[in-house]
């Protein structure tokens, strides 16, 4: 069922969540597959709908800092980041608070919880109407390309969810940046807010995931965001049957941003991968600078290109 992002649609989305059903919700990053984070059966059906390995924990979405503080132990660093970037594309991993009431399926048994206050008006309206924590992974079958439109959601999950709240394409287009604050501050996943911005607010360097570290954001599996056909990175031109995805002033089949704007490229990345995937041809991608949002774009592309 397609709901529109008007008061009736928002009320119905909140109502479906209350019944323990799944609703795909637009956020500024990607569409999320939402379910009541306190309801174990609802959360189990999120994993089932996505075909997601159950060791991979979910982000709890809430309407405000005050709501987040009910579930996690807050800190000065959390407050500084929330002041700077919430509502917005930043997820904080903090120690679970006693009596939190969150289903252990959300945390996959960890003693920490990932929380985020999204900025998207429709997401905020649903969270306010529902008045509880909503667990929401990206609304795509596990391992596949993340959805930035309601059509992407339905292409992957139609028949497995109660509804999608359709409010057009997502503005940021890349998942949230995940910062771990349970130990020393760490970047657990690059995303919609650049590392440089986070380090400037905390006035410290974040611990970065090193190859060989235990996977600290367990969802950071190597192969993810994968189109059906192979993906080749840092290509200077297409070879054989390849279709070329470009960035900046290059000759290509589809350009993430002809003017070389990383924010625009982030916003168009997943839609571009969905579109190229439909051609069935192998995909080659020209180099993308690795600073600012480029780091998150390259992270997604490396996973899209990883051996399956
Ligand atoms: O932008 C986003 O973050 C989107 C929208 C819907 O909010 N959501 C999203 O969720 O990307 P998902 O499930 O695709 O990715 C969540 C990531 C996973 O890599 C997971 O392992 C990590 O968050 N995560 C969740 N809880 C964690 C925890 N307690 N400790 C470390 N990593 C955690
Ligand atoms: Mg995902």
| Residue with more model confidence, 56 or 90 | 90
Residue 213 pLDDT grade (very low, low, confident, very high; cuts 50, 70, 90): low
Q: Are 185 and 294 in contact (CB under 8 A)?
A: no
Spacing, Cα 220 to ligand 2 middle (Å) = 9
Tens digits of residue pLDDT in 100-155: 999 999 998 899 999 999 999 999 999 999 999 999 999 999 999 999 999 999 99
**Could you tell which of 33, 35, 47, 57 is best to mutate to test the pocket of ligand 1, judged by most ligand atoms within 8 Å of the CB?**
57
Q: Which two tokens stand for residue 172?
A: 């940021």
Q: CB of 30 closer than 6 A to ligand 1?
A: yes
Q: Which two tokens stand for residue 285?
A: 């991608």
pLDDT at 212 over 50: no
Residues with Cβ < 8 Å from 163, sequence gap 6 or more? 1, 2, 3, 12, 13, 16, 21, 23, 24
For the CA of 91, the closest atom of ligand 1 is: 3
Spacing, Cα 138 to ligand 2 middle (Å) = 4
pLDDT of residue 53: 77
Residue 219 pLDDT grade (very low, low, confident, very high; cuts 50, 70, 90): low
Question: Look-up: residue for tokens 């309601």?
Answer: 150
Average of per-residue pLDDT across 203-221: 67
pLDDT at 217 over 60: no
**CB-hemisphere CA count at 13 Å for 191?**
24
Residue 10 pLDDT grade (very low, low, confident, very high; cuts 50, 70, 90): very high
Task: Please report the beta strands in the chain, taking only residues with DSSP state E, as ranges in sequence order.
Answer: 2-4, 23-25, 32-36, 59-61, 90-95, 112-116, 134-135, 163-166, 177-180, 186-189, 207-208, 231-232, 243-246, 254-255, 283-285
- List, as ranges, residues with CB under 5 A of the ion ligand 2: 138
Residue 225 pLDDT grade (very low, low, confident, very high; cuts 50, 70, 90): confident
Tens digits of residue pLDDT in 162-180: 999 999 999 999 999 999 9
Average of per-residue pLDDT across 242-261: 98
Residue 272 pLDDT grade (very low, low, confident, very high; cuts 50, 70, 90): very high
Provide the mean pLDDT of the chain: 94
Which residue, by CA, sits nearest to atom 10 of ligand 1? 137
């Amino acid at each position: 069922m397609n709901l529109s992002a008007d008061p009736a649609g928002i009320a119905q989305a909140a109502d479906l969540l209350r019944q323990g059903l799944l609703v795909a919700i637009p956020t500024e990053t990607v569409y999320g597959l939402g379910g009541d984070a306190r309801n174990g059966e609802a959360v189990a059906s999120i994993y089932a709908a996505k075909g997601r390995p159950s060791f991979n924990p979910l982000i709890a979405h809430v309407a405000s800092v005050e709501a987040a503080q009910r579930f996690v132990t807050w800190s000065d660093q959390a407050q500084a980041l929330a002041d700077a970037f919430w509502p917005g594309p930043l997820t904080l991993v903090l120690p679970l608070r006693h009596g939190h009431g969150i289903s252990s399926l959300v945390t996959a048994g960890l003693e920490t919880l990932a929380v985020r206050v999204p900025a998207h008006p429709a997401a905020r309206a649903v969270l306010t109407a529902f008045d509880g924590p909503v667990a929401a992974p990206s609304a795509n079958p596990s391992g596949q390309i993340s959805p930035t439109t309601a059509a992407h959601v339905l292409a992957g999950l139609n028949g497995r969810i109660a509804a999608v709240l359709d409010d057009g394409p997502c503005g940021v287009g890349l998942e949230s940046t995940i910062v771990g604050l349970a130990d020393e501050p760490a970047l657990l996943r690059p995303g919609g807010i650049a590392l440089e911005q986070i380090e400037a607010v905390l006035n410290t360097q974040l611990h970065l995931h090193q190859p060989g570290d235990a996977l600290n954001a367990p969802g950071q599996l190597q192969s993810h965001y994968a189109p059906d056909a192979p993906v080749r990175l840092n290509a200077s031109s297409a070879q054989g049957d390849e279709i070329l995805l470009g960035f900046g002033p290059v000759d290509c089949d589809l350009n993430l941003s002809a003017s070389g704007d990383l924010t625009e490229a982030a916003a168009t990345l997943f839609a571009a991968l969905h579109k190229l995937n439909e051609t069935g041809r192998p995909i080659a991608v020209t180099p993308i600078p690795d600073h600012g949002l480029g780091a998150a774009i390259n992270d997604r592309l490396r996973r899209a290109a990883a051996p399956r």
